[in-house]
Chain A
Amino acid sequence: MTDTGREADGGASARQALDTLTLRLIDSIATAVRRSIERGELPHIELPVRSLANVTYDVDKGYFELGETLKTRTLTVNTVRSFAQTLRLMAASRQMVQGNDFATKREAYYISKNWGDCRFDAQTESDAIMDDIEALASLHGLAREQLRFYPESHGGSVAGPLTVIDTDPETGAVLEIDCANLGSGAWSVPRSVEQLGFRTDADFILAIETGGMFQRLNHHRYWKQANCILVEMGGVPTRATRRFIRRLSDDTDLPVYCFVDCDPYGFANIYRTLKVGSGNAAHINRFFCVPRAQYLGVTPQDIIDYRLEDATHPLTRTDIKRAGDAVKNDPFFASHPRWIAAIEQLLGMGVRAEQQALAKWGLNYVIDEYLPRKLENRESFLP
């Protein structure tokens, strides 16, 4: 039974520490601005550059990381508007931390409608400012969720031998959720997972691409058979899902196995994003990447090993381009020769296979044959 240190108070003290850090950060920026003004200087805010030029792939850490280049947003004609918006959004963030509330990105956009001239004209504007603040906070070890800006999309579903320790937002009472005891349903990952504590005796976490496959495995209680926690990603995993898997695997020290379609989208978009994050949100990757993730399948070799050739589809032009990009331009794949070999193998076969292709051998072939055989040989998982 693995316990995390947060269950005693439902993560309240950890959350408090993060909140203090957040408030201190906002306070320090505002104070610096005010001091500059009083010294008779133009105030400025230093923000990390979020462009790809300032993103590096750290092989050791195993994720895309924001470089050290900072941009200085000095108050000038061109920046005065975004400067004021940045400060006002930070003030809003401070208020939400203090009042233990949150705003979705859309709501943050609407908050500004009360700001007069300073209002955001479109959500893309508020999103960009928010990304700046988030990038700044990330330098101080804070994620956007700590700033109380929550993503719109919720997380995936979870089922298996896992107890999630949460608090009732209204009463603050500690709640325990047993994910093995939810009948035919599943527990859904909340938008912010920072306050959660975990208790589990599972052996590994299985992250599944499709809702359909998750349902099948949950329905037949595969998690009981394999003693694992099932997490449904639903395509490219949302921030909440990624952060949840990261925290779960960190806190419980469990390996994460990914079970996705055998196509370039599955490799380069779903798996790669889960494991190392994405380039254009590099400032958050340190919180969202899941370095423990490994690729269980479906691999190109599985198509041969499980004789799925006649259940495949030809690669589309987009697939081929995406695979080419992954081989040539993606530092993550480039640092893993086994991945390069696998992608080239797929390109050689010119086909792709979905998870559901295994149903060719019977609906539950995946439970009875495929997953057990794969799990026997974990070295075959791709990095």
Chain B
Amino acid sequence: MTKEASTYSTAHELAGRQREISVSEFFLKNRHLLGFDSPSKALLITVKEAVDNALDACEEAGILPGIQVEIADQGDHIFRVAVEDNGPGILENQIARIFGKLLYGSRFHKLSQSRGQQGMGISAAGMYAQLTTGKSLHVISRVTGEPMASELFVSIDTAKNRPELHGRKKIEWDRPHGTRVEVEIEGRYQKGIHSVDMYLKQTAIANPHVSFHFRGPHGEAASYTRSSSALPPRPMEIKPHPRGVELGRLIQMLNNTSSRTLLQFLENEFSRVGRKTAREIVKHTRHRLTERSLPKRIAHVQAQALYRAIKKVPVTAPRTDCIVPIGEARLYEGMHKEIDAGFYIVKTRPPAVYRGNPFQVEVGLAWGRPGGAGLAVDAGGRIHKAAHHQRDASEALALKADEPARLLRFANRVPLLYQQDGCAITKAVLQTNWRSYGLQQPKGALPVAPLVILVHLASVWVPFTSEAKEAIAPYPEIIRELKLGLQACARKLAEHLRQENRLKREYDKRTHIEKYLPHVGIALQEILELTDAQRDQSVAALDEVLQQTRKRP
């Protein structure tokens, strides 16, 4: 008995080993949760997090983003990733915390549409670098108006979730303002859907106001030039809506509030709650809570009652003007410049709400028929094969007739490259009956067509299924809006296809006719003993008659 017991630990022994786990340590062991689960994905996520940060910084400062992305192959599966922006720069004493501490950021505590949400991405990349190469993050930043740039090497003390600085100096930098982040990680550079190129291209589609310059590890270079010099309007920051608040979050809010009474708390901390609604909520709460109760003193049971009351009292839907969609015109521009197709449709749905969070859905379709209907009607009513500008194949998002449609997912203008199957957008696309719009669609699959389906979900809080922000959770309200957007575009596509088919049929008919006209000429020449000139004249006249008598397409 005693012998056996010795293999088990006593409560005291256990207590001796139990200690706090820092967030950094947790993610070091669970790096897949942040998306760093394979070398190729790690490389892409690193670029993505740095670019997301750069874009948010530029936009918040009202600067048109110009971003440079460089990837250098250091050999032995080590890559050096550098992302440089023309943003406002970062104050020197902030740099360490931004890049060297997980869950440090400006956006987690506010509800506003932005790319980053948690303040985790770039630090996670730094941590991954530390883990795989042992190298620190190298940051150069110059704040607008400063004569010099700051250069720092930052690493993370994972046990304490605290930044560690190695070297800090002022240097000359030829940029007036901006930030350059360099990180050396173990990775794998690949082409295809999950490539850095594809990520940048998709980002360029959803952000036509951004210019990218990319230099790859094998000397390849690509530029995505902005087509619009209008910055998207700044999204407004809103307070949480009572419908969307969870019990835990409510308790946290009660503890953190500076409001002195429950009534004030309700009025100040939530959107769409006025005095009348606040009183109504308190009235429904009971459990000896009054309008004057001190929020910090509210017990757990009381908080539960408050939570139930909040859900019971009708509250006006949250305001939705805090959402900034890409917009139909910009989205069209973005698609048009990056996707080589014959026909584009874009649709921005009106804003809607899930669980108290406003969101807005945008859908774009790019349709291109290979070898193409590419037909054009000229002023004389004749149909010609339209000249077709073909982009470099490696650059084009392939549009092939016999392959499933390419689905591009975006959340707050950021492309989602992984976990397509688990995403609400994919579900909505699969649930859409594309067959009724004239496309082929195998059961439970994407439509098979030369089609790019682009879906953007903008929200103050995008419900990602994981911290890696790869897929959107399928809330029924979201699915519904997605489907409405898809259907609106599909209807337009069906209309276009009908028109295209009509034109195609008419062209085929005319081609068919034209094939046989010379034979009518030959026969007439043989029978009537015409000269070649007379024959050609008859054929030309007949061609003219046919063109005149056929309906204008």
Residue-wise, chain A 18-49 has the 8 Å CB interface mask toward B (1 for contact) of: 00000000110011011001101111000000
Segment at the A interface, from B234-242, B341-349, B545-553: B545-553
Contacts A40-B544, A77-B513, A80-B517 aside, 8 further interface pairs with beta carbons under 8 A come to A27-B528, A30-B524, A34-B524, A34-B538, A84-B519, A87-B520, A90-B523, A117-B515
Chain B's closest residue to A39 (CB) is B545
Q: Is the C-beta of A275 less than 8 angstroms from some C-beta in chain B? A: no
> A131 → chain B, closest Cβ, in Å?
18
A31 contacts B528, CB within 8 Å?
yes
Chain B's closest residue to A31 (CB) is B528
Within 8 A of A (CB), among B484-536: 509, 512-513, 515-517, 519-520, 522-524, 526-528
> Bound complex: CA of A90 vs CA of B526, how far in Å?
9
> Bound complex: CA of A37 vs CA of B513, how far in Å?
15
A-B contact pairs, 9 of them (CB 8 A): A34-B538, A37-B541, A37-B545, A40-B548, A43-B520, A77-B509, A77-B513, A88-B522, A117-B516
Q: Is the C-beta of B542 less than 8 angstroms from some C-beta in chain A? A: yes
Which chain B positions have C-beta within 8 A of A41? 545
Chain A's closest residue to B548 (CB) is A40
> Bound complex: CA of A85 vs CA of B516, how far in Å?
9
Chain B's closest residue to A95 (CB) is B526
Residue-wise, chain A 225-257 has the 8 Å CB interface mask toward B (1 for contact) of: 000000000000000000000000000000000
> Bound complex: CA of A115 vs CA of B522, how far in Å?
10
Given A42-B549, A77-B513: A87 touches B538 (CB 8 Å cut-off): no
Chain B's closest residue to A83 (CB) is B520
> Bound complex: CA of A116 vs CA of B524, how far in Å?
16
Chain A's closest residue to B543 (CB) is A37
Residue-wise, chain A 89-103 has the 8 Å CB interface mask toward B (1 for contact) of: 011001100000000
> B505 → chain A, closest Cβ, in Å?
10
Which chain B positions have C-beta within 8 A of A76? 513
Q: Is the C-beta of A118 less than 8 angstroms from some C-beta in chain B? A: yes
Q: Is the C-beta of A81 less than 8 angstroms from some C-beta in chain B? A: yes
Task: Name B's interface SS.
Answer: helix
Which chain B positions have C-beta within 8 A of A80? 512-513, 516-517
Given A87-B520, A88-B519, A118-B519: A30 touches B546 (CB 8 Å cut-off): no
> A118 → chain B, closest Cβ, in Å?
4
Q: How large is the interface on A (under 10, 10 to 19, 20 to 34, 35 or more residues)?
A: 20 to 34
> Bound complex: CA of A4 vs CA of B338, how far in Å?
89
Which chain B positions have C-beta within 8 A of A94? 526-527
B542 contacts A84, CB within 8 Å?
no
Within 8 A of B (CB), among A322-352: none
Given A77-B512, A81-B516, A118-B516: A87 touches B541 (CB 8 Å cut-off): no
Which chain A positions have C-beta within 8 A of B541? 37-38, 40
Given A37-B545, A80-B513: A26 touches B519 (CB 8 Å cut-off): no
> Bound complex: CA of A76 vs CA of B544, how far in Å?
13
Which chain B positions have C-beta within 8 A of A87? 519-520, 523-524, 527
B546 contacts A33, CB within 8 Å?
no
> B518 → chain A, closest Cβ, in Å?
8
B538 contacts A115, CB within 8 Å?
no
> Bound complex: CA of A346 vs CA of B517, how far in Å?
58
Q: Is the C-beta of A213 less than 8 angstroms from some C-beta in chain B? A: no
A43 contacts B542, CB within 8 Å?
yes
B519 contacts A34, CB within 8 Å?
no
Q: Is the C-beta of A75 less than 8 angstroms from some C-beta in chain B? A: yes
> Bound complex: CA of A120 vs CA of B291, how far in Å?
95
> B530 → chain A, closest Cβ, in Å?
8
Which chain A positions have C-beta within 8 A of B548? 40
B546 contacts A75, CB within 8 Å?
yes
> A18 → chain B, closest Cβ, in Å?
18
B509 contacts A115, CB within 8 Å?
no
> Bound complex: CA of A26 vs CA of B517, how far in Å?
19
Given A37-B542, A42-B546, A80-B516: A88 touches B523 (CB 8 Å cut-off): yes
> Bound complex: CA of A95 vs CA of B526, how far in Å?
8
Chain A's closest residue to B535 (CB) is A34
Which chain A positions have C-beta within 8 A of B544? 40
| A116 in complex: contacting residue of B512, B519, B538, B546, CB < 8 Å | B519
Given A37-B542, A42-B549, A117-B516: A84 touches B526 (CB 8 Å cut-off): no
B545 contacts A91, CB within 8 Å?
no
Which chain A positions have C-beta within 8 A of B527? 26-27, 30, 87, 90-91, 94
Q: Which of B517, B520, B546 has the most CB of A within 10 A?
A: B520
Given A77-B513, A118-B516: A42 touches B545 (CB 8 Å cut-off): yes
